[in-house]
Amino acid sequence: MNQAYKDLSERWASLLKENPTLRIRNAAEILGVSEAELVTLNQVEGKRVIRLNSNFKALLPAIEGLGPVMALTRNNAMVHEKTGQYKGVSVHGNMGLALGVIDLRVFFTRFETGFAVTEETAHGVRNSLQFFDEFGEAVHKIYAVADTNMDAFTALVEEYRADAQIAPVSVSPKLEKDLLSIPEDLDIDGFEQGWSELKDVHHFQTLMKKHLLTRVPAYRAVKDEYAQAIDCSAFEVALEAARRSELSIMLFVGSPGVIQIHTGQIHNLKRTGPWFNVLDKGFNLHADTTQIAHAWVVRKPTSDGIVTSLEVFDKNGEQLALMFGERHNGETEQAAWRALIADLEEKYALEEEAVV
């Protein structure tokens, strides 16, 4: 380990001594480095790290053989945890899909490095597979649970172990993006016409790209019948309302390389400081609601009728989470979900979305 990494290792150890429960993502932010750089410090007491090779398209389908695991995908404000078995994993070019209890959309172009990590915790040894993008930001983590086949876990790590076990990682500087500005030359009529002609919600990204838009500016630009600004507290209120009505919903949380989806009812909700939590068997969501700066009700036409989402973003316009009523292709949207959204709009709609 070179001197720079030795110094970083000592700084992290000192930080953990002061705050033993500090999450590695938060430690990396405090120390001014990436999470991937901290993970590679395998000299830190209580940690062992094995670097994996870059054959991620083969590795992910092989996770099914481990049996039950916990899949974790997060961004700065939302942590989405699902426990189950990876099933129905397929790879299509640079995109992967998992379509079982673990429901994922995977963008392999954002997978830069991967590690098998063994940690000593207050609750015993914890084993995981962790994947990072070119900026050293975590895109997905897979944790062993009590019923995981650990013989298969060990064999998988050995099969995908990188030939060179080099601690340092090369991390690219992350450039800031403007996700809030509406282009001055936006063809608003053309954009709204394209919106009105949508047949599939998955085509919306292509429409925005055509008009050089990101989500918050797109929603600010169009008429209220397409996108209605709503108070940021509506996200928590919607979760509470879905619980009370036993409504089956879909919760999407994305990292730079993975979108993870929960479908079903939610039951156990708890506020802990800034975090509003769903604490159900097989599914946890931890939402730092203080970071929600923009919230929108969005309606998109499809061949099955209007599909309505509640979408939340941070102060920079980064998408944090999306919520839908449970719906399958060929089905119309649930009337109960539309009623929930209508109630939210009646109570929390904003005349004008704040510009930050």
| Reported confidence tier of residue 356, pLDDT bands at 50, 70, 90 | very low
Residue 167 lies in a domain: no
Residue 93 lies in a domain: no
- Residues 122, 82 share a domain: yes
Mean pLDDT of the chain: 93
- Residues 212, 256 share a domain: yes
The domain spanning residue 336 has which CATH number?
3.40.1570.10
- By residue range, what is the domain housing residue 72? 3-87+111-159
Closest among 339, 297, 285 to 82, alpha carbons compared: 285
Q: Which two tokens stand for residue 284?
A: 């946890």
Q: Which residue has the tokens 């050293």?
A: 136
- Residues 344, 195 share a domain: yes
pTM, two decimals, is: 0.94
The 69-74 sheet, strands edge to edge = 47-51, 113-121, 124-132, 138-144, 69-74, 78-84, 283-288, 275-280, 269-272
- Residues 250, 124 share a domain: no
Number of domains in the chain: 2
- Residues 312, 248 share a domain: yes
Residue 164 lies in a domain: no
Helices (H), 173-293: 188-196, 204-210, 215-221, 234-245
Task: Answer whether 243's CB lies under 8 Å from 266's CB.
Answer: yes
- Residues 244, 145 share a domain: no
> How confident is the model over 270-320, as pLDDT tens digits?
999 999 999 999 999 999 999 999 999 999 999 999 999 999 999 999 999
Domain boundary (143, 159, 175) is at 159
Give the model's pLDDT for residue 351.
Answer: 83
- The amino acid present at 287, given as its one-letter code, is A
Give the model's pLDDT for residue 45.
Answer: 46
Give the model's pLDDT for residue 85.
Answer: 97
Give the model's pLDDT for residue 104.
Answer: 98
Which residues share a beta bridge with 79? 74, 286
The DSSP symbol for 108 reads G
- Residues 149, 12 share a domain: yes
| Percent of the residues in the chain that have a pLDDT greater than 70, as a whole number | 96
Residue 165 lies in a domain: no
- Residues 243, 126 share a domain: no
Q: What backbone phi and psi angles, to 5 degrees, belong to 317?
A: 90, 5
Dist CA 324 CA 260 (whole Å): 14
Residue 167 has pLDDT above 70, yes or no: no
- Residues 70, 120 share a domain: yes
Q: Which residue has the tokens 């189950």?
A: 84
- Residues 155, 10 share a domain: yes
Residue 342 lies in a domain: yes
Residue 356 lies in a domain: no
Residue 103 lies in a domain: no
Residue 197 lies in a domain: yes
- Residues 202, 69 share a domain: no
- Residues 73, 193 share a domain: no
Give the model's pLDDT for residue 23.
Answer: 86
